[in-house]
Amino acid sequence: MFNIKKGSGFRTHRELACMAVNVMFNQMTATKGIKMFGERAVAAMIKEYQQLNDMKVVRRTDPDKLTSDQKRRALRAINLIKHKRCGKVKGRAVADRSPTRAYVPREEATSPTASLEAQMATLLIDAHEDRDVAIFDVLGAYLHAHLPDRKFVLLKIEGQFVDFMCEVNPEFLPDVRYKNGKKVLYVQILKALYGMIESALLWYSLYVDVLEKDGFKLNPYDTCVANKMVDGKQCTVVWYVDDNKLSHKDSKVVDTVLGMVEERFPGLAIERGKSLNFLGMEINFIGNKKVKVGVKKYLGGLVEDFEAFDGVLTKKVSSPAVKWLMTVDENAGKLSVEKSEKFHSIVGGLLWAEKRGRPDIETAVSFLCVRE
C-alpha cells in the first residue's frame, strides 16, 4: 500500500481506508450542508441527535461542577452532512478525537478489520460450496458499545447544534451556557461515539462477544472472520467494522443467525440473493462454483466526483499505463485546498478499487499516490 503525500505528512493505511469508504458519498460540514440543502439538512441533523438521545449515548452533567481541565479535555462535536448518490441527505455527529491522542494507550486505539485476502477467500468458499449469502449492516454500530465505567469523557456541543440537542431532549436546556456569545453544552459520553479513538475497538470487542456467545470461533489468521459448525456445515461471518457477510449452505441457518444479530442490534440493513454489494464490490454468484467481483459502479462514482470539480472527461486511452503517464508539467500551478482534498479523496478511492477488482490500474495509481 502506498502513502499519499499531503504537505509534509503522510496518510496512514487506516486513514486511506476511511477516505476510500467516504468517497462513496459527498461529505461536508453540517453548516455548509444546511446552507446547501436547507431544511433537509436540519432534519437530518435533528434525526442524528435524536438517535444519540434514544440510544442513551450521552447524559446530562452539571457544567458548573466541571473543572477547567475537564472542559479543556472535552471532545468537540463535529457535525457533518453526507449527500449520498441516491440523493438522501444524512446527518452525522462525531467527536473530535485530537485531544485524546496524547493520553489514550495504543492498545485501546486500534481495532482489526477484515483483510482483503479473507474477503476474497470467503467469497471463493461461498461460490465453491454454493452457500446462501447475506450482506448486512449494523446501523449505528458503535453506539451499542459502552465506555468503561472508569472513563469520564465529555462532548462539547456548540452553536445551533445545541438547539438541536435541546429540541430532542429539553432536559438539557438548564445546562446550556454561553461562551464568547456562543451557546455551549457539555454532556457526558456513555457509549462509543463515532470519531473517538476507542470506539472501533469497543465495538469490535462487543461484536466478538455476541458472536462467541452464539458459538462462533474466531479464525486465528484473521480475527474478523468467525466460523461455527451447524448441521455438519460451516457457517461463516466476515466483517469490516459494521459491514458483514454471512454464509451457510442452508438459507434457514442464515435466517437464524440474522435473527440472533437482529435481536441484539435491531434495525439491520439486509441484502440477499446472488447479486450483492459488499464494501463497494459488486458480487455476482454466476453458478458452476464461480463468483464475479467488480467495481464498475464504484469507479463510475469516482469519475462523477472527478468531473464535478475538474470538468467532463473527454480523452480516451487504451491502457491505464500510457507512455506519458509519469510525465510531469513542472510549470503547473498547485491545486486549491478544496481541489487538493478532492484529489486525495479520489486517489484513496482508486486504491480501494485497485485491490478489489482492477489490478490493471495499479501503476497509474502508484504514480498518483506520490503527487501532492
153: CB partners within 8 A, 6+ apart: 75, 100, 147, 188, 189, 196
pLDDT of 138 = 95
Q: Cell 494507550, residue?
A: 105
What is the DSSP-derived secondary structure letter of residue 288? T
pLDDT of 338 = 81
Instruction: Cite the DSSP H helix spans in 23-102.
Output: 30-37, 39-54, 68-73
Residue type, 30: A
CA 291 to centroid of chain Cα atoms: 26
CA distance 300 to 124: 25
Q: Which residues pair with 186 in a beta bridge?
A: 156
Continuous segment of H or E residues that includes residue 133: strand 132-137
Long-range contacts from 315-320, C-beta under 8 angstroms, 24+ separation: 319/360, 320/360, 320/361, 320/363, 320/364
pLDDT of 42 = 93
Residue type, 237: V
CA distance 352 to 369: 12
Q: Which of 208, 214, 233 is nearest to 132 (CA)?
A: 233
pLDDT of 310 = 73
Contact 346, 23 (CB under 8 A): yes
Burial of 68 (0-12, 13-18, 19+ CB in 10 A): exposed
Q: How far is CA 156 from CA 51, 97, 138, 231, 304, in A?
A: 17, 12, 27, 51, 36
pLDDT of 100 = 67
Q: What is the pLDDT along the chain (372 residues), one digit of tens a residue?
A: 334 444 433 344 444 444 444 444 457 888 888 988 899 999 999 999 999 999 999 999 999 999 999 999 999 999 998 877 667 888 999 999 876 665 666 666 678 999 999 999 999 999 999 999 999 999 999 999 999 988 899 999 999 999 999 999 999 999 999 999 999 999 999 999 998 988 999 999 999 999 999 999 999 999 999 999 999 999 999 999 999 999 999 999 999 999 999 999 999 999 999 999 999 899 999 989 999 999 998 888 888 888 877 777 778 888 888 888 888 888 888 888 888 888 888 898 999 889 888 888 999 898 888 876
- Between the CA atoms of 96, 102, 106 and 109, what dihedral angle is there, to the nearest 10 degrees? -10
Contact 269, 136 (CB under 8 A): yes
Please report the domains of the chain, with CATH numbers, ordered by start residue: 1-23+280-372 (no CATH), 24-109+147-189 (no CATH), 116-142+198-278 (3.30.310)
Report residue 245: phi and psi, to 5°. -125, 125
Biggest alpha carbon distance in the chain?
68
